[in-house]
Structure 1
């Protein structure tokens, strides 16, 4: 493969909007094992939240997909393949990215963020309640030079 072709492929897979309009591959070989990727992603996405028992499976899948993406990208970067093979690899990398995007939107980080937001809101409500109960939040009467937050 010529250098300019290699650069085009690398630019294509690293483009920020590369996954727009891309589809998740039906099947993909990951770490030497054929995986029904589209079916797996759709199965997980159908649920409102990832059940606790499935989180490890999803996290393992994301790690394996990231590893596979890096290996495929390195094959293009190191110019180990023909241009036709490079195009096939680029398409598969974009498909992997699309699958990762779909899985990331359901990941534990989202659940943890939501839990943290809920806890922060609960603390605020509790503090407001305590201030009112203790007479420190009476709408401005009394308290003199107290700073309000």
Structure 2
């Protein structure tokens, strides 16, 4: 592969918009094991949150995908492949990125923690309202009042 081709492939996978319009690969081979990636991602994304029992499975999948991505990028960077192989690797890397984006958007929700956070935000808004209503917003010099 020529140097400019290698740079083009690396630039393509490094673009922020690279995953726009790209499908998650149907299946991907990671460390010798074929994974039905699209099915896995859609199965997890169907839910609003990651269930407690699935969290470890999802985290393990994300770690494996990140590791595989690094290995594939490395093959292109180290000029270990032909341009055709590099092009195929770039497509698969962008597919991995798409899958990772989808999995990263899911957050495990701890309902109790979410409720506490909401209550704290409500309390802060109420205190700011009271300070403004009573003229104690911190911006004005309140010394000298009451003469």
Q: TM-score, normalized by length of structure 1? A: 0.79
CA apart distance, 1:107: 3.1
CA distance in 1, matches of 2:18, 2:124: 46
Instruction: Give per-residue Cα distances to partners, 1:22-55, cap 9 Å, x unaligned.
Output: 0000000012210000000000001111100001
Q: Which runs of no fewer than 5 residues in structure 2 stay unpaired?
A: 139-147
Q: Which runs of no fewer than 5 residues in structure 1 stay unpaired?
A: 131-135, 141-145
Question: Are 1:49 and 2:49 an aligned pair?
Answer: yes
1:30 is matched with 30
1:40 is matched with 40
2:60 is matched with 60
RMSD in angstroms over aligned alpha carbons? 2.6
Distance 1:96 1:124, change over 3 A: closer
Distance 1:86 1:124, change over 3 A: closer
1:133 is matched with none
CA distance in 2, matches of 1:62, 1:47: 17
Q: TM-score, normalized by length of structure 2? A: 0.80
2:21 is matched with 21
- Structure 1 runs (4+) deviating above 6 angstroms are 127-130
